[in-house]
Amino acid sequence: MKLSHRITHITGGGSDGWDVFYKARRMIADGVPVTELTIGEHDIGTSRAILDAMHDAAVGGHTGYAMVPGTDALRKTVAARIAARTGVPTTADNILITPGGQAALYAAHTAVCNPGDTAAYIDPYYATYPGTIRGASAVPKAIVTSPDTAFQPTADALKAQTKGAKSLLVNTPNNPTGVVYSAATLHAIADACIANDLWLISDEVYDTQVWEGAHISPRSLPGMADRTLVVGSMSKSHAMTGSRVGWICGPADAIEQIVNLATHTTYGVAGFIQDAADFALNQGDAVEEEVAAPFRRRQALTMQALAGQNVIRAVPAQGAMYVMLDIRATGMSGEGFANALLDAEQIAVMPGESFGQAAAGHIRVAMTIADDRYVDALSRLIAFAAMKAA
């Protein structure tokens, strides 16, 4: 029996660029002690206090169907957090709770794109973006950035390449580059959205991981609140990746319509998970800083490790749990380097090519292991690059 074009074309055919990752997983299964610097998973689990809140909520009876848009308490808490951080008036009516940021990304594209509409996104990109767009029956269009502008899109490219599109998806702090978009870039994004009448889908799941400067939500820029859907998540801010809880924040009338999509797809998020998320958010900024602290520390350790050599160049990054390293001086592709590093040193990193064409000749390192092991892996990686470049 034939399946729909929508489902059979989600991956876009061909390799998904994750071969090195799968190879590392196979080696680990075979007992090889691989140092894993591939995916965005914290080396700490969800905190005991949050798990206790989850347990108490479940034992207390919050195990039935929860309200589809989210519990009133969590929607209000998320709205208050966004209002306080961005200055944009935000109420529970602006919030839909979703099973993670990924479900929010899909719901947002489904909400704003008709089948066949063009949905733009920035390359390098988080691996699921093109597939999410295709899954929503829209047509992905990459705006390819350059390492020369630290992978920030330029005003000219944004305006020219989003003509005729329905939406633009941006992500700051950025996965995979760790770059935090400058105020100038964000204004250029807003200008392009207004000039070309686009919806902006703003993926802000790393908003608590900023090492330098500040996170600016583009929803707060003039004229943007009515055309922006913000994607948020508890995954990175509270080490709750497995709990699958996130949100969309947008205009109340849009949220009301997207609730209809939730009713007919996910039917909401487990009540006890939402109670735990509400508890977690009410613990305040200190808890978020505690979860982010290891990555802040390891970013500094990365810069220290790279000082005094000139084979590997770090993309100047200000946030998120990754560093993107330019290894072009070795003469290798990101994929070639990552494969050779895995074979020679049993260190697994992601090739830049896994995240689009802009990051070719780069590797992404997830700073997700204990500091001492991280520093050791980095020094072996640097020595390996020097050997290849010689």
Give me the residues that bind ligand PLP (CB under 6 A), please. 40, 100-102, 126, 171, 175, 203, 205, 233, 235, 241, 246
> Nearest approach, Cβ of 174 to ligand PLP (angstroms)?
7
Please report which residue ranges of the chain form alpha helices under DSSP H. 5-8, 19-29, 48-59, 72-86, 100-112, 129-135, 155-161, 183-195, 252-264, 271-281, 285-306, 334-345, 371-389
Contacts of 231 (CB under 8 A, 6+ apart): 101, 104, 105, 108, 201, 202, 203, 204, 205, 246, 247, 248
Strand, helix or coil for residue 39:
coil
User: In this structure, what token pair is assigned to residue 207?
Assistant: 């908003």
> Nearest approach, Cβ of 181 to ligand PLP (angstroms)?
13
Which residue, 171 or 217, has its beta carbon nearer to ligand PLP?
171
> Nearest approach, Cβ of 242 to ligand PLP (angstroms)?
9
Which residue, 125 or 279, has its beta carbon nearer to ligand PLP?
125
* 282 in Cβ contact with 74 (< 8 Å): no
> Nearest approach, Cβ of 377 to ligand PLP (angstroms)?
21
* 189 in Cβ contact with 168 (< 8 Å): yes
* 218 in Cβ contact with 180 (< 8 Å): no
> Nearest approach, Cβ of 31 to ligand PLP (angstroms)?
28
* 238 in Cβ contact with 79 (< 8 Å): no
Which residue, 138 or 230, has its beta carbon nearer to ligand PLP?
230
Which residue, 332 or 348, has its beta carbon nearer to ligand PLP?
348
Which residue, 167 or 171, has its beta carbon nearer to ligand PLP?
171
> Nearest approach, Cβ of 204 to ligand PLP (angstroms)?
9
Which residue, 147 or 176, has its beta carbon nearer to ligand PLP?
176
Q: What's the rounded Cα separation, in Å, for the pair 244 and 304? A: 35
Which residue, 198 or 234, has its beta carbon nearer to ligand PLP?
234
Q: What's the rounded Cα separation, in Å, for the pair 317 and 197? A: 30
Which residue, 108 or 385, has its beta carbon nearer to ligand PLP?
108
298: nearest Cα among 18, 48, 44, 46: 44
Rounded to a whole number of angstroms, the CA Rg of the chain reads 21
Q: What's the rounded Cα separation, in Å, for the pair 385 and 325? A: 11
How far is the CA of 225 from the CAs of 80, 220, 222, 251, in angstroms?
16, 6, 8, 7
> Nearest approach, Cβ of 342 to ligand PLP (angstroms)?
21
Strand, helix or coil for residue 210:
strand
> Nearest approach, Cβ of 354 to ligand PLP (angstroms)?
13
